[in-house]
């Protein structure tokens, strides 16, 4: 097969990206496109607006929602340590075993997936001129030809850039015509006009309340912001997409609530983001980890992940801050004598933007004005659910409710 590879930040994905994919497929040079949303590319290590998992999932939903045929989204960069240079990504992606397994997992017939493949790195004509300054450009050309898009009326001298590359590095450069509008992700986010964002991505952005004041993380330190991004890719190996996005949403909302209630914003971001980090580990491992943090306090399989998460964050990420670890530990049950941070993470977990298990409007409204009242309303809703299911509340929850005069 002839395989096009299209990498980018997609922060957010817009109609220009989609036009690039469609035009490349129409060009006749390739049979399919593999889209790779970046994790740690060399130019923008932490400069993206959103952590990698949001951009990956948004791209997946967009490709699926638009019904783009012969277009597959890859998470290959999650398995690469350090900066994901194009040369490094291509070395991994083009190996016989990796590409065969990837294509088969995307429903390509085994026989086709095992064929000899040719690879094409898709790029804009503007980046062709800088290609020789990339990391190991000669190496890139050993793995793939360059497939550069030229828009009608584009005044970039692509022929000059292409012949310079061929002369200095060898390799193959092909040009294809790009039909479609010109737009930029940064202009979209700075103007707030999302009309050039495909509908499925718009829905994704709305569902998770992205590109808002909360996700700008103003007032959060550089270190905490970088940790938030790093932890998001660390958790990718342990959590399914839906739960991962939920736990990150709780990070954003906790940071916002910390602003309102005079709590450390960095700690809220990190505790919120990590609160469910242990939830999909094998249950035996969760039980063991929970015991390590809080003895026999949590043994119920539904909630043991909270205390296990504290151990997991401590052991795997080196988090020693007791306030953060406790906020993770008590996010399911609450407890007596809760800190503001604990209340925030407890609450944010139940009402983050993508939650829709009941009408959360009134609690969300209360959360902006009165933290205790919002926690009380949440606890009432949970108590009612427990009563209807004939379940007993955890002693820590009973202690919390008593203090809130419930």
- Give residues in contact with Fe ion (CB under 5 A): 276, 349
Nearer to Fe ion (CB atom), residue 75 or residue 276: 276
| Whole-number Cα distances in Å, 30 to 13, 70, 86, 167 | 22, 10, 19, 24
Cα 294 to chain centroid, rounded? 30
Partners of residue 72 on adjacent β-strands: 34
Instruction: Classify 38 as helix, strand or coil.
Output: coil
Give me the least distance between CB of 331 and Fe ion, in Å please: 6
Give me the least distance between CB of 298 and Fe ion, in Å please: 11
Nearer to Fe ion (CB atom), residue 189 or residue 333: 333
Give me the least distance between CB of 383 and Fe ion, in Å please: 17
Place of tokens 């001298």: 157
Nearer to Fe ion (CB atom), residue 11 or residue 352: 352
In this structure, are residues 289 and 308 in contact, taking their beta carbons and an 8 Å threshold? Answer: yes
Give me the least distance between CB of 250 and Fe ion, in Å please: 6
Nearer to Fe ion (CB atom), residue 26 or residue 391: 391
Give me the least distance between CB of 305 and Fe ion, in Å please: 6
Which strands form 71-73's sheet, in the order they lie side by side? 71-73, 32-37, 2-8, 118-124, 145-150, 173-177
Instruction: Classify 306 as helix, strand or coil.
Output: helix
Q: How crowded is residue 133: how many other Cβ atoms within 10 Å of its Cβ?
A: 7
Residue 150: which residues within 8 A CB-CB, separation 6 or more? 125, 156, 158, 175, 176, 177, 178
Nearer to Fe ion (CB atom), residue 57 or residue 108: 57
Give me the least distance between CB of 242 and Fe ion, in Å please: 11
Nearer to Fe ion (CB atom), residue 77 or residue 349: 349
Place of tokens 């580990």: 281
């Amino acid at each position: 097969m002839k395989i096009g590879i299209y990498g980018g930040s997609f922060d957010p994905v817009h109609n220009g990206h989609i036009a690039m994919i469609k035009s490349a497929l129409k060009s006749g040079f390739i049979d399919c496109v593999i889209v790779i949303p970046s994790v740690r590319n060399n130019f923008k290590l932490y400069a993206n607006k959103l952590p990698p998992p949001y951009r990956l999932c948004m791209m997946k939903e967009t490709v699926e929602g638009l019904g783009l045929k012969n277009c597959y989204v890859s998470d290959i960069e999650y398995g690469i340590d350090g900066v994901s240079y194009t040369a490094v990504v291509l070395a991994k992606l083009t190996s016989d075993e990796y590409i065969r397994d990837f294509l088969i997992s995307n429903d390509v017939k085994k026989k086709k997936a095992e064929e000899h493949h040719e690879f094409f790195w898709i790029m804009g004509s503007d980046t062709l001129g800088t290609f020789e300054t990339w990391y190991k450009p000669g190496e890139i050309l050993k793995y793939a030809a360059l497939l550069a898009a030229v828009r009608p009326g584009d005044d970039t001298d692509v022929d000059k850039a292409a012949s310079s590359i061929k002369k200095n590095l060898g390799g193959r450069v092909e040009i294809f015509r790009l039909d479609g509008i010109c737009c930029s992700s940064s202009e979209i986010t700075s103007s707030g006009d999302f009309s050039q964002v495909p509908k499925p991505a718009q829905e994704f952005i709305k569902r998770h309340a992205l590109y808002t004041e909360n996700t700008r993380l103003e007032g959060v330190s550089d270190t905490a912001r970088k940790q938030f991004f790093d932890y998001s890719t660390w958790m990718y190996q342990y959590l399914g997409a839906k739960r991962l996005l939920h736990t990150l949403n709780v990070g954003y909302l906790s940071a916002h609530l910390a602003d309102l209630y005079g709590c450390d914003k960095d700690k809220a971001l990190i505790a919120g983001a990590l609160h469910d980090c242990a939830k999909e580990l094998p249950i035996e491992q969760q039980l063991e980890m929970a015991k390590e943090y809080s003895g026999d306090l949590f043994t119920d399989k539904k909630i043991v992940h909270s205390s296990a998460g504290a151990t997991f964050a401590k052991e795997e990420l080196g988090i020693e801050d007791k306030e953060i670890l406790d906020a993770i530990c008590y996010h399911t049950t609450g407890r007596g004598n809760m800190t503001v941070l604990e209340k925030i993470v407890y609450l944010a977990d139940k009402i983050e933007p993508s939650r829709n298990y009941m009408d959360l409007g009134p609690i969300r409204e209360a959360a902006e004005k009165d933290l205790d009242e919002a926690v009380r309303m949440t606890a009432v809703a949970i108590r009612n659910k427990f009563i209807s299911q004939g379940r007993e509340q955890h002693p820590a929850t009973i202690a919390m409710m008593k203090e809130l005069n419930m």
